[in-house]
Structure 1
Amino acid sequence: MVGIVIVSHSKQLAEGLRELAAQMVHGQVPLAVAGGVDDTENPLGTDVIQVHQAIESVYSDAGVLVLMDMGSALMSAEMALEFLTEAQRQKIHLCEAPLVEGAIAAVVAAAAGGNIEQVMAEARGALMAKASQLGINLSPPTSYEQTPIPETQQTKEIYITVSNRMGLHARPAAQFVATSSRFQAQIKVRNITKKTEYVRADSINQVAMLGVRHNHELAISASGIDADEALTALQALVEDNFGEGDTPIYIPEEIPLDRQEIPVSIAAPSLKGIPASSGVAIAPSHRYAVAPIVRHQLPTLKSPQYYVENPEHEWQCLQDALNSASQEITTLLSQTSTQIGDTEAAIFDAHLLFLSDPIILEALRHYVFIEHVNAASAWQAVVEELSNQYRTHYDSYLRSRAADVLDVGQRVLRLLLGTAAAHLNLTHPAILVAIDLTPSDTAQLDTSKVLGICTTAGSSTSHTAIIASSLGIPAVVGLPEDILRLNDGMVIGMDGDTGHVWVEPNADIITALEAQRQAWQISQQKVRRNAHRSAITTDGKRMMVLGNIGGVTDAQVALSMGAEGVGLLRTEFLYLDRTTAPSEEEQFAVYEGITQVLESRPVVIRTLDVGGDKPAPYLNLPQENNPFLGWRGIRFCLDRVELFKIQLRAILRASASRTVKIMFPMISTIGELQTAKAIVEEVKEELRQGGIFFDENIKVGIMVEVPSAVTIAEQLAAEVDFFSIGTNDLSQYIMACDRTNPQVARLADALHPAVLRMILQTVEAGHKAGISVSLCGELGSDPIATPILLGFGLDDVSLNPQAIPRFKKSITRLSLIEAEAIASEALKQDSATKVREMLMTFNYW
């Protein structure tokens, strides 16, 4: 039988309601309450542990309906779910129904043998009888749904099971919506497993709210002139596992920590939250109030609502803000991809689709053109309504997506109000304390300064938690609000594995936490033990493994992960997010700092690569229809010679006593390369005349990332000292798809045989000319690609630092002969999916 839980600020109210409800059904229904808090002076409130215990007391496979009165009752109920297993959470349903009427209706329906959906429906409709008696017409909440598609003979339908491990999480949902949007047909989808209604397939929010998980069955219908093509494309997308293959999730080997041997006393004064990202940290606190999130509304920024006479002007303001937000998110997506990885960056694909969601746009149009509401207030209303839908969803995973809605909402509202973006500028290492962090905030944290994250809201499955974990920042969420009252500078000890936080911990706790941190470091040292050794195959072939970095801190991280140098220093970080170009001295200081960290190890510095997905407003880059095919990379630098020379002077000066190499991006012709080299020679002569030392024999190379460079690789090789293959751009150019466009991004797979053949052709051309060939794209960070890169004969590979240990480990498990055979077999496949399937048959990671 379905169980009922009543959550109220008042213990007396909760107990009284339980008595009333129990009498209605003679005690037949499992009924529990969580009311008030254990505080004689201030008894009103809610307690997460009480709610958790109440749920457990009435739990059964039939399901549990939780009714709440207001405010923190809802938050406590949401947090209580985090203490349950995933299987249990699937059975718990938080319901927005009125507390008293809803409870009475729910117990009656449960006593009559209704299932959880029937009980919930009765609770939600509990006010209808009262309203009818009073002559009041209760209209359903405003909804912005697509006009129902008439059920005609032209409507086609398919049924298909979702097989990828995480179901329709951020990236697959974005791909599903993007694919649907390509067709004129009206496409709907429903989750058969969850028994949902049909929703629009071109709405990222409606698709996400279906709660599709592994092995859930979908029904997809289409009506229109290209219905067959649409269904075929969607079926192929799902059957291809959304391009994710079946790659196993990499779990580092760790020494199990016996916490019995590390006596951190949780009996000592501590705060208990939900573990979100592993690790231990001890540091001064820093309250992060730049962009606090409240679960049910946009943060700090607010706009007064007023009537507008010119809705066209307001609509244009909205369009401008949405376009600007799209540019900002695209830049963030690119930065996250290069600094953390494509998987984490995919979170922002969904943010981009949010901006073009037809449901959102229809709602905005209604507010602006029908109700004549000003743009900022219209946006605010739509975002708050949508975030409420997410945070009250029965699925805990989707409830945590409310933070993403608010993240995008905050960004657009800031642009509408003309408010400057705020940034966190820490001068010393600290633990951040906040209500919550957005995914955007988290992706841009400096890991050398932010040692831990403590929030009162959030979820262990949120995108913020995922990014924090990828960055290696310990995090605890769902902490009591008392932590927000801490003064900056107060020392905090935190354990991201248990969820405990100590404020001003005593010496014993600090000692125990330090011991725990040391034990964790020992476990990491085991993981990285081989990473600091050379990557040598079982038959003696050595491959150099370098790191991709974007600053001094990244260089330190790369070395700690076992990098033997830097194969790609992205210099864009010096130019982005500022109002003027960096000076020669500023650049020199950074390059010099990085070379000092690396000591005698080599560093390849790529010259400025802006345009496309890396806009810099003060450079006055034009709006282009196809920015990835436009004025970017070396093309831009050759037109802005003085800007180019300033960077080259700084790089050459940094080469005076270190192993520094220059690399040009986006080379597509011999002429471009020769012109760039000529400018280098001009700068060298200027430095000689000024008596400034530099490496006279500095090596110069190019990124091979456009098809034309591959086809003339033999000619280019005669002009340079090395090649470095950029598989991210090379993949999108070969496959003719914009990798930042969710509609086609899945085509830009570097494991496609067409891309692999280009890589091999480049390696062969370089070796024929006697120059070294490296690879610095995302492909190197994919563990299943290791034998192909080795088998193709690459001299070195440059990776995101976090991927270095497992790459080296894979190399030591392979022989060159074996790798060559695997690479040869990969070239015989007809798709990236087939290549992945073939690679999965080998066990080398």
Structure 2
Amino acid sequence: DNTPPHLPIAPSPHLPIAPSPHLPTSLQGTPASPGIAIAPCFRYRKTPITWEQTTSREQPPHYHVEDTTEEWQRLQTALHTAQQEIQTLLSHSSIQIGDAEAAIFDAHLLFLADPTLLEAAQQRIFTQHLNAEAVWQGVINEVASNYRRLDDPYLQERIADVVDVGQRVLRVLSGTPMTIVDVPQPAILVAADLTPSDTASLDPTRILGICITAGSATSHTAILARSLGIPAIVGLPPEILQLADGTQLAIDGETGRVWVEPEPETLVALRTQRDAQQANRQQTRTIAHQPGMTRDRHQISVFANVSSINDTQQAVNFGAEGVGLLRTEFLYLNRTTAPTEEEQLEVYQAIAQILDHRPLIIRTLDVGGDKSISYLGVGLESNPFLGWRGIRFCLDRPHVLKTQLRAILRASFRHEIKIMFPMITTVAEIQAAKAILAEVQGELHQAGVPFDEAMQIGIMVEVPSAVTIADHLAREVDFFSIGTNDLSQYVMAADRTNPKVAKLADALHPAVLRMIQQTVEAGHAAGIWVGLCGEIAADPLAAPILLGLGLDEVSLSPQAIPAFKGAIAQLTMPQAQAIVTTALQQDSAAKVREILNDDLHLI
């Protein structure tokens, strides 16, 4: 399991701050994440990085180093450790909050691998004989200063990400351990600021609300709070930091208002409002454990995207009817050698056991692109999304693929497991992958090892070439699963990890919708079923589109399942098909969204 520890908050070593006698009974901030929370406040003070070699113990030390090669290696080791931590957080966040929001940490990984930044750090160590901490702090300060000078508010907000990544590396260099959150009871977190890493690691069952004096409603911290379903208010007056731990607070993330020691009548009104919201969510959860079905009884399978055993249990709790995408990369992360056949078998069997006869689609290793694993020889490339990734890597390293296929086949005995190959661009690739699979099946037969002889084989459709030859590919497989996250960026020629162009990679753009339609039609004409595993399915607004396009299955982040099933339950197939017909005639994603908003108000 790759679930990271919760938010690194330590109880303050200082005495509680006495509340100011002049503290107002209510405070106004900027609404950042909707919802009502009533709980005692818990003041967050980040554990400071402490330095042994400096008298201030707060600023990184500056000193002369003789062995510059060793010092450069020390920085590289710290960068690698930070990279592994972020990769774990990314994998956890993909499930907890969805791929689109987790892409924040893709950007963190790219920052750590930025050649300009690394070259500047290396040059300073070798020419100035400066220690790694001083060099790294200097480089981070310069990047943050460059962002501050920009007019673009979006890019200015990325300063928080730069500082977050910078502090993570400094913490590793200093040897300051990550501390575990210790909230004595469910609480509202009060802080000067929260980093994106802090926020993504929060436990929504313990942290019921967030109040910070910094930030904006469009910051990554705000986006992550919304994804976690935690009410949040940003930009609050600094007086809130004077509150003593345990002070009763009530917050409304819709209006940005905070009540300090609220009056009984205020509490009654807010609790009534909160209870109505919770009842609405409970009704949605009830629908989630029923089949995904429209008002006119048309069914669509609703599966989950998962990355661990824990995620699978969470998916079942949220009403998943199966797993449409098991990302197996988590097995390969945070280690120095590839997982053995037995290690993989154990995990696949444990996941299949939790699913209890529900389908499990296992995607073979999908490295490269934004996922580099150094011990496999998958390094950094100048254009990684067009590089050595997915099935291309596995066909070049057949021993890695064969080990994984053996484990999957062995786990398939008495379970409903399917295999899915990623990043297929040509017929030759799927034929080569199937030949390796047949070879492994033959070896297992010979050894008398049982497996599911009728196991289905599918491919991810995520590049335009696969869409345009979908009729040929359909003859080779039992199912398609459309990966809209990658398909969108390839169709629109827009890297989804680049903030300057990421908005173009929108799965609701008619160009992408037509690709989905073409794939569904080709699959159905060949008699195979077609699913979709992409972040677009996590947006309830898109439900009529996916339904109307004729998809047989959708796979999404577990916590998004209730809202998707709730949206489906409001629709009929003719309504969904009519919406799709209109959407496909539009010329932008914005116009498609307008139609969806208008039509859903009428339904």
8 Å Cα contact 1:431-1:454 kept in structure 2: no
Residue 529 of structure 1 is aligned with which of 286, 292, 306?
A: 286
State the distance in 1 between where 2:344 and 2:60 align: 41
Counterpart selection for 1:552 from 297, 306, 309: 309
Deviation at 1:796, TM superposition (A): 1.0
Aligned to 1:50: 21
Offset at residue 585 of structure 1 (A): 1.7
In structure 1, what is the equivalent of residue 513 of structure 2?
756
Structure 1 residues 760 and 457, CA, compared in 2 at 3 Å: closer, same or farther? closer
2:6 match: none
Q: Point out the more displaced range, 382-391 or 767-776.
A: 382-391
Q: Which amino acid aligns with 1:748?
A: A
How far apart, in 2, do the equivalents of 1:736 and 1:51 lie? 56
Instruction: Show CA shifts across 1:151-203 (max 9, x none).
Output: xxxxxxxxxxxxxx98xxxxxxxxxxxxxxxxxxxxxxxxxxxxxxxxxxxxx
Q: Deviation per CA, 1:237-283: give whole Å up to 9, x if none.
A: xxxxxxxxxxxx9x79xxx99x9xxxxxx9xxxx6447x9xxxxxxx
CA separation of 1:550 and 1:351: change in aligned 2, threshold 3 A: closer
**Whole-Å Cα distance in 1 between the matches of residues 139 and 106 of structure 2?**
20
Decide which of 763, 767, 780 is 2:524's aligned counterpart.
Answer: 767
Q: 1:518 to 1:589 in 2, by over 3 A?
A: farther
Question: Residue 808 of structure 1 is aligned with which of 565, 579, 582?
Answer: 565
**Match among 605, 610, 615 for residue 367 of structure 2:** 610
Q: Does the CA contact (< 8 Å) of 1:456 and 1:480 recur in 2?
A: no
Kept after mapping to 1: 8 A contact 2:210/2:231 = no
Gaps of 5+ in 2: 1-13, 149-153, 235-239, 253-257, 260-273
Structure 1 residue 456, shift from structure 2 partner: 11
Aligned partner of 1:799: which letter? L
Number of equivalences: 550
**Pairs within 5 Å for 1:382-421:** 404=161, 406-413=163-170, 417=173
Whether contact under 8 Å (1:575, 1:581) holds in the other structure is: yes
Indicate if the aligned counterparts of 1:476 and 1:496 stay in contact, CA closer than 8 A.
no
Residue 654 of structure 1 deviates from its aligned partner by 1.6
Q: Do the aligned partners of 2:190 and 2:241 also contact (CA within 8 Å) in 1?
A: no
**Post-superposition offset of 1:630:** 1.3
Q: Distance in 2 between matches of 1:674 and 1:389?
A: 50
User: How big is each residue's C-alpha offset from its partner over 1:197-233, in whole Å with a ceiling of 9 and x where there is no partner?
Assistant: xxxxxxxxxxxxxxxxxxxxxxxxxxxxxxxxxxxxx
- SS of the counterpart of 1:698? coil
Q: Deviation per CA, 1:497-517: give whole Å up to 9, x if none.
A: 7999xxxxxxxxxxxxxxxx9
Distance 1:644 1:353, change over 3 A: closer
Matches within 5 A, 1:710-789: 710-789=467-546
Write the distance in 2 (CA, Å) between the matches of 1:52 and 1:387.
Answer: 34
Aligned residues of 1:585 and 1:650 also touching (Cα < 8 A): yes
Matches within 5 A, 1:557-706: 557-706=314-463
Q: 8 Å contact 2:318–2:559 — kept in the other structure?
A: yes
SS in 2 for 1:52: coil
Q: Does residue 1:86 correspond to 2:86, yes or no?
A: no
Q: Distance in 2 between matches of 1:686 and 1:451?
A: 50
Pick which of 706-715 and 684-693 moved more: 684-693
- Compute the displacement of 1:755 (Å): 1.1
Distance 1:824 1:528, change over 3 A: same
Amino acid at match of 1:594: I
- Tell me if structure 1 keeps the 8 A contact 2:328–2:363: yes
The offset of 1:421, in angstroms, is: 9.6
Q: Is the 8 A contact 1:292 1:434 kept in 2?
A: no
C-alpha contact 2:50 2:58 (8 A) present in aligned 1: no
CA shift at 1:562, angstroms? Answer: 1.6
How much does 1:333 deviate? 5.2
Q: For residues 4-56 of structure 1, what are the alpha-carbon distances to aligned partners after superposition, in whole Å with 9 as ceiling and x for unaligned?
A: xxxxxxxxxxxxxxxxxxxxxxxxxxxxxxxxxxxxxx9x9964443634xx8
2:266 maps to which residue?
none
Percent same amino acid at aligned positions? 55
Secondary structure class of the residue paired with 1:84: strand
- Structure 2 distance, partners of 1:692, 1:425, is 45
Q: Is the 8 A contact 2:480 2:523 kept in 1?
A: yes
Give the Cα–Cα distance (whole angstroms) in 2 for the partners of residues 781 and 455 of structure 1.
24
Q: Is 1:840 aligned to 2:591, yes or no?
A: no
How many Å separate the matches in 1 of 2:548 and 2:215?
A: 40
Structure 1 gap segments, 5+ residues each: 1-41, 57-82, 88-164, 167-248, 260-265, 277-286, 392-396, 484-491, 501-516
DSSP-derived class of the 1:535 partner: coil
Distance (whole Å) between structure 2 residues aligned to residue 273 and residue 333 of structure 1 = 26
Cα distance per residue 1:621-651 (max 9 Å; x no partner): 1332211111111111112222212211211
Deviation at 1:606, TM superposition (A): 0.6
* TM-score, scaled to structure 1: 0.55
SS at match of 2:27: coil
Q: Check 1:400–1:751 CA distance in 2 against 1; reply closer, same or farther (3 A cut).
A: closer
Asked whether the equivalents of residues 488 and 506 of structure 2 are also in contact (C-alpha less than 8 Å), the reply is yes
Aligned mates of 2:418, 2:16 — CA distance in 1: 63
SS in structure 1 at match of 2:23 = helix
Equivalent position of 1:159 in the other structure: none
Give distance in 2, aligned partners of 1:590 and 1:365: 41
Contact 2:20/2:242 (8 A) holds in 1 = no
What letter matches 2:484 in structure 1? T
Counting only pairs closer than 5 Å after superposition, residues 419-568 of structure 1 correspond to structure 2 as 438-443=195-200, 451-452=206-207, 463=220, 467=224, 470-471=227-228, 524-568=281-325
Q: Where do residues 65-76 of structure 1 align in structure 2 (5 Å cutoff)?
A: none
Q: 1:421 to 1:788 in 2, by over 3 A?
A: farther
CA contact (8 A) 2:87 2:333 kept: no
Give 1:604 deviation, angstroms. 0.7
Q: Distance in 1 between matches of 2:197 and 2:544?
A: 35
Q: What is the CA distance between 1:607 and its match in structure 2?
A: 0.8
Alignment of 1:343-382 (within 5 A): 344-345=101-102, 347-348=104-105, 374=131, 376-380=133-137
User: What amino acid does structure 2 have at the position aligned with 1:577?
Assistant: N
**Contact map agreement 2:475 2:526 (CA 8 A) in 1:** yes
What is residue 303 of structure 1 aligned with on the other side? Answer: 60
Distance in 2 between the 1:789 and 1:688 partners? 40
For 1:735, give the aligned amino acid.
Answer: M
Which of 1 and 2 has greater Rg? Answer: 1
> Residue 337 of structure 1: CA displacement?
4.4
CA contact 1:455–1:476 (8 Å) conserved in 2: yes
Distance 1:369 1:586 in 2: 43
Q: Which moved more, 1:461-470 or 1:691-700?
A: 461-470
When residues 434 and 398 of structure 1 are mapped into structure 2, their CA distance, relative to the original with a 3 A threshold, is farther
Is this contact kept in 2: 1:333–1:348, CA < 8 A? yes
RMSD of aligned residue pairs (Cα, Å): 5.2
**8 Å contact from structure 2 (residues 91, 307) kept in 1:** no
Q: Which has the higher contact order (CA 8 A, sep 6+)?
A: 2
Cα 1:841–1:519 change in 2 (3 A) is closer
- Structure-2 separation of matches of 1:588 and 1:431: 38
Query: What letter matches 2:309 in structure 1?
Result: V
